[in-house]
Structure formats: structure tokens, C-alpha cells
Amino acid sequence: MPDRMRELVDLLNEYSNAYYFSDSPMVSDAEFDALMEELSGLERQTGIVLPDSPTHRVGGELTSAFLPHQHISRLWSLDKVKTFGELRDWAQRCERYRGGDSNAKPLEFVLEYKFDGLTINLTYEDGMLVQAATRGNGIIGEGILAQVRTIRTIPLAIPYKGKMEVRGECYMKLSTLAELNANGTDILKNARNAAAGAIRNLDPRITASRRLDCACYNIGYIEGKDFAARREMFDFMHECGFPMSDFVFYGSIDEIIEEIESAESRRSSLDILIDGMVIKLNDIPLHDEMGYTDRFPRGEIAYKFQAEEQSTTVLNITWEVGRTGKLTPLAHLEPVDFMGVTVKRATLNNIDDIRRKRVGIGSKVLIRRSNDVIPEIMTSLDEGEPKNPVHVPESCPACGSKVEQRGVHTFCTNSLSCKPQIVGRLEHFASRNAMDIEGFSEKTAHLLADEIGLSKISELYELTEASFSGLSGFGEKRISNILSAIEKSKDCELSAFIFALGIPNVGNKTAKDLADTFLSLDAIRSAGREQLLNIPDIGDIVADDIMDFFADTHISAQVDRLLELGVNPRSPEAKTHNDFVNGKTFVVTGTLTRMGRKDIEDLISDLGGKASGSVSRKTDYLVAGENAGSKLDKAKKLDIPILSEEEFFHSIGM
């Protein structure tokens, strides 16, 4: 048994160092937690705790790149539970510790997101940020003031002049990660590692470029002030301007459990990574009276969600051809259970991505799944380069034609008769958000390409009853229905037509912005670069893609042919401006009843206003429903007018 404990301690310390200091995880969260639970169980069973056991530690050893900083007040880790039964047991221990009158009100608890980021500790003196540090081992961390100063949401000055330490979690939004990966040359593995790597980068300019966020959640030390409850502490933190979580809930343990279930169900739709929820006593004096173990405060605990990361083995990698001709690598995996779903495939971006992650056939890899989509391979867990590396195909796996490299991506050069490209273009063109050809499916696209030989989108509008002659499954009624649907699609909105054309990097929103700005197809086709860049969400790359698309003589001829065959993209109707909304910026937040938030934002846009996702001094009104959270607090701080849902609709005459 001592030998097994030694083995576990060495393994866990190696994994911790790789995770925290190399930003290169060697095992999944689920495997790490299982090993830690085994070690904790052996320590309880034997009464032996080895001197270097990770159960002593809150963080890890310092790197030599930053100067050490000793925290005024120790930063603690949190004990963890995985079931509601364990959580109720903890709440009952808190209740027993309080003792006293059995008729007293039930204890109130605070629930917050458990961010999957990097803990930081902020020190303020005389109202100024004078130091920032990583957690380190909980007593001594790494000084990272220059890096933290680049995080825009962290205040450099606050109204309170006493010395204080504020704890927070530094993280990267998933939308930010996606944007950086789309526009950069270096692919970031995941949001957690991207945030950790940015904070611990010696060059603050690199940190600034990562556009990190922070959520503060506790005051560890403060001179001249005491708080009776976390509500009071959080109000004070809001007044000081600290960034805080959009979600904080107060209630009994039964209400807390209901909210945890709700949070877990919406986890995949959040723009942040969370791996659980944190539950704390609202009563701070009672929390302090309960004290600490050698590692954890007794008055708070973490509820861990089921891991969203797993490790498995790559069985094969194939190259899939899309509608643009791009070859995308697809990893076929040893099946693994992932949050109740058996996962057999995962995505990779391109050959550079494969090499950077050191992935080959037979590699043990870490995969992450979010938003119920196909998982992504994060990294290889093997040491060194793969034994069976992956190579770019010399020819298209679908049609055998020549391939060419364009930047980091590989493309099939046969746009005329490569079946996956033709099928993909047909399916996209006919999809609901495009030309909305009713009854048209991927199966229909395959049939038209295979049996009828369609190779161009315009040939859809040249189909006749005779085109389907002799095709299995196509009776008179079905032929009539599909031809009617194709004919009906000729009368379409301009934005739908632009989206249907499949311009690189032009999705639904950009297509709508183009239609609303230029109002006609001719104006869009002839738009110059500066005109395109004047649209807020269009940058250099998208502008060039639009111009290159319409400058291609082959494409231009196909667009002309569609118009000749009767396709009629309708210009958008002029917006109906509302005097109250027109030209103003609104932020919509909270739970709304008459319309969903997205519907209200669309209505604001239709009436000539702008719907923003964040509160700033440029915000004219905040429309606040129930549980409005931090946006409401910030609006109050900035003296921005606040409207209830009912007041908003009354103001616009609805």
C-alpha cells in the first residue's frame, strides 16, 4: 500500500506541474480526480500522508520567471462533492455547527459558477492596484501585475482607500477563443490554457492580445471594514467596480440544488468554461467560526459537474471534402462515454493543427466536448512525436484530383465534378436560411448529383419532369412537389440569396448586414473595400473574400445565369423607425416574459436602434427582466435609465 501511495503522489505531482506550469495537460480531469480520490482514501485508511503529497497543496511550485509574492491572507482550495446527497450532508454539518435555536431560520447559502480558469489575487492600497499574483501554493504566488493591468475589466483604481486583497478567476470567453483562432496563426488549445498561458507570459503585450476577462468572488483581507454577509460584501465589491460573475444566487440548500440542476443544463450554452458550482455560507461570521482543515474552508464547498474532457485513442484519421473543396481531417476514436453520449469521432483543423498537437494514428489524446457538438482533440497525451504521423493526401480522397495548399488548408482543385463539393453546395443553397427549398435534403442533393448529373447550382432551375424520368422513388406527386418548391424559391430575400451563394466567411448575419446596407445585389457585387469595411462586423479578411468572390468570372457567370432563370432577390424593406428607439443603444438582460431576449433585440434593430451585449457609458437604456444580475448593477452605477419589460413596450407603443 505505501508503494501505491508513492506511485500516486509522483503521478499526481507530474500531472499537476504539466497542467499548471506547462499548460499541457497529460490526463483528463476525470482521470486526475479519480487518482486524487484514490490517494485521499488511502491516506484516510492508513493515517499516513507523504511529505510531498498533493493533498497538502493548493497550487504548485513557482516558476523562476516571476518574482515571488507572499499573500497577506492565505488562498484556500475547496473540498468537492459530486452528488446532492453529499451536498446535503455538508449543509447539515453547517447547520449543526451553528447550533442554537431550532426555530431559527434555515441557513442561507450563496451559489456561484466555478470558473475553469486561473485564480488571481489583487492587492489594493490607497485606492490603487499595487500588486497582482497567481495563487501559487496558497501562501506565496507569482507577481503578475504588468500582465493583470492589461485586463480591461479589472479596475486600476477604486474608491476604497484601505488595504485589501480581492480574489478572482481569470478566464477567456469561448467566443474570444474562437475569434483568436479564426484570425491568428497559432491555434490555442482551449480557453483555460489560453488564459493561463497569457497571464504567465512575460510579455504583457501578449497578455493584452488575448483579451482576457476576470470574475472576482471574494475579499480575502481588508483593513477597517467587516462584512456580516456575502450579500453585503458583494454589494461593496460592485460599488468598487470589480468584475463579477453574471450569476449569483442566494437561497436555502433545496433552492441551491434546484439552481445547480438548472445551471448544469445550460452549461453548454454559456460563453465561459465552468466545471462546477461553488456553494458558500452567506453568514460570514459563521463561515469564519467554522474554520479550516489543513486545506479547505469548512463553510464553502464545490459541486463538480461531470467532466467535459476525456482521453481516448485515435484509431484512424480520414480527410473529408466540404462544399468549398477544403479537406478537413476527421479523427476516428476508440469509443468513449462522454456525458452519456458514446463518442467515436473528433475534429482537427488542418495539418498544422495535427502536428502542433502531436496527433498520429494510435495516439492517446485529450478530447473536449461542448454545446453538444462533435468533440475537438485538444492535445496528445503521449510523450514526443507520434509513432505513426499523419500526412496530407496527395490527391482528393473523393475524386482523385490534384490537391493544393492554400495557407494552412488543403483544397481539392476539381470544383466541377468532385461529388462532395457539388452535394455540399446544393444542400447549402437549398437550406432553410438560404433559398428554403421545401423537401430538399442531403439525400436529394446526392441523387441529383449522382443520377441526374447536376454540377452547377443554376441547373436546379433547369430541371423538368423529364429530368426525373425513371428515377426510383420519384412518382408524379413527388416530382411536382420538388419542382414547385424550386420555382417558389425564385422569389427570395436578398439576404437569403447572398447567404445561399456560399461566399467564404459570410454567414446569416453578415449576409443580412450586406443586404441592409447596400439594398441591392448589384450594389453588393460592385462594392469597394472601404464600403465593405464601413459595416461594423466586416474586417479585412471578410471584405477581401466578398470582393474576390464576385470578381471570379466563373462565379459571376453563374450568378448571372441564376438571374436569367428567374431568381429574383428582393431588396429589404426600409426599417420602420421608432422615435423612442431610433439611434439609441439598448442592453437587454434578465428573464423576460412577453418576448425572448433575442426577439426584443431584433425588434430594437428593426426599429432603428442598436442592441448591445454589454453595459457602458454609451448605453442609452437597460431593459431589465427578472434576475438581471451584474448588468443591472453596472447600469445603476453609471446612472443609465432602467426600463422594465412593460415600460419598454409601453414606450414603443406596443
Residue 106 reports pLDDT greater than 70 = yes
Q: How many CB atoms lie within 10 A of CB 173?
A: 17
Q: What is the pLDDT of residue 103?
A: 65
The CA distance from 316 to 331, in Å, is 6
DSSP label at 572? P
Mean pLDDT for the stretch of residues 93-105 = 75
Closest CA to 545 of 559, 524, 560: 524
Contact 75, 167 (CB under 8 A): yes
Residue type, 49: V
Contact 214, 168 (CB under 8 A): yes
Residue 221 reports pLDDT greater than 80 = yes
Out of 94-103, 405-414, 451-460, least confident range = 94-103
SS3 363: coil
**Of residues 21 and 97, more confidently modeled:** 97
Q: How many CB atoms lie within 10 A of CB 7?
A: 12
Closest CA to 350 of 322, 372, 328: 328
**Model pLDDT for residues 241-293, shown as the tens digit of each residue:** 899 998 999 999 999 999 999 888 888 788 888 889 999 999 998 998 888 88
Mean pLDDT for the stretch of residues 174-190 = 75
**Model pLDDT for residues 563-621, shown as the tens digit of each residue:** 999 999 998 876 667 888 888 888 888 877 888 777 788 788 878 888 876 677 778 99
Mean pLDDT for the stretch of residues 296-301 = 93
Q: How many CB atoms lie within 10 A of CB 609?
A: 23
Round to the nearest angstrom and report the end-to-end CA distance of the chain: 73
Residue 339 reports pLDDT greater than 80 = no
Q: What is the pLDDT of residue 88?
A: 94
Contact 502, 508 (CB under 8 A): no
- Distances in whole angstroms, Cα of residue 388 to Cα of each of 181, 360, 385: 27, 5, 9
User: Where does the pLDDT of residue 52 fall: very low under 50, low under 70, confident under 90, or very high at 90 and above?
Assistant: low
Q: What is the pLDDT of residue 19?
A: 65
Residue 21 reports pLDDT greater than 60 = no
User: Where does the pLDDT of residue 371 fall: very low under 50, low under 70, confident under 90, or very high at 90 and above?
Assistant: very low
User: Where does the pLDDT of residue 166 fall: very low under 50, low under 70, confident under 90, or very high at 90 and above?
Assistant: very high
**Model pLDDT for residues 344-367, shown as the tens digit of each residue:** 999 888 898 899 899 999 999 999
Q: Which domains does the chain have, with CATH numbers?
A: 2-56 (1.10.287.610), 68-304 (3.30.470.30), 309-412 (2.40.50.140), 419-570 (1.10.150.20), 585-651 (3.40.50.10190)
**Of residues 160 and 596, more confidently modeled:** 160
- How many residues does this entry show for the chain? 654
Mean pLDDT for the stretch of residues 59-69 = 62
Residue type, 290: M
Closest CA to 615 of 241, 263, 277: 241
- Written in H, E and C, the secondary structure of 61-111 is CCCCCCCEEECCCCCCCCCEECCHHHHHHHHHHHHHHHCCCCCCCCCCEEE
Residue 315 reports pLDDT greater than 90 = yes
User: Where does the pLDDT of residue 372 fall: very low under 50, low under 70, confident under 90, or very high at 90 and above?
Assistant: very low
Q: What is the pLDDT of residue 575?
A: 63
The CA distance from 69 to 542, in Å, is 45
What average pLDDT is seen over the chain?
Answer: 85
SS3 602: helix
Residue 487 reports pLDDT greater than 50 = yes
Cβ contacts of 551 within 8 Å, gap of 6 or more: none
Between strands 80-81 and 300-304, the pairing is parallel
Q: What is the pLDDT of residue 637?
A: 86
**Between vectors from CA 70 to CA 207 and to CA 117, what angle results, nearest 5°?**
40
Residue 329 reports pLDDT greater than 90 = yes
Residue 237 reports pLDDT greater than 90 = yes
Residue 370 reports pLDDT greater than 70 = no
Mean pLDDT for the stretch of residues 460-479 = 84
Residue 35 reports pLDDT greater than 80 = yes
User: Where does the pLDDT of residue 132 fall: very low under 50, low under 70, confident under 90, or very high at 90 and above?
Assistant: very high
Burial class (CB in 10 A: 0-12, 13-18, 19+), 160: middle
Sheet containing 109-115: order of strands = 80-81, 300-304, 274-281, 109-115, 248-251
Set of cell numbers at residue 385: 512525436
Q: What is the pLDDT of residue 432?
A: 83
The CA distance from 234 to 236, in Å, is 5
Q: What is the pLDDT of residue 314?
A: 95
Closest CA to 207 of 113, 87, 118, 318: 118
The backbone region for 38, taken as left when phi is positive above 0, alpha when psi lies in -120 to 50, beta otherwise, is: alpha
Beta bridge partners of residue 113, listed in sequence order: 277
Q: What is the pLDDT of residue 187?
A: 65
Rg (Cα) of the chain, in Å, rounded? Answer: 29
Q: What is the pLDDT of residue 167?
A: 97
Give the pTM. Answer: 0.49
**Model pLDDT for residues 488-546, shown as the tens digit of each residue:** 999 999 999 999 988 888 888 788 889 888 889 999 999 998 899 887 668 788 888 89
**Model pLDDT for residues 379-425, shown as the tens digit of each residue:** 899 988 999 999 999 899 988 888 888 888 898 887 666 888 888 88
Contact 217, 247 (CB under 8 A): no
Catalytic residue numbers? 114
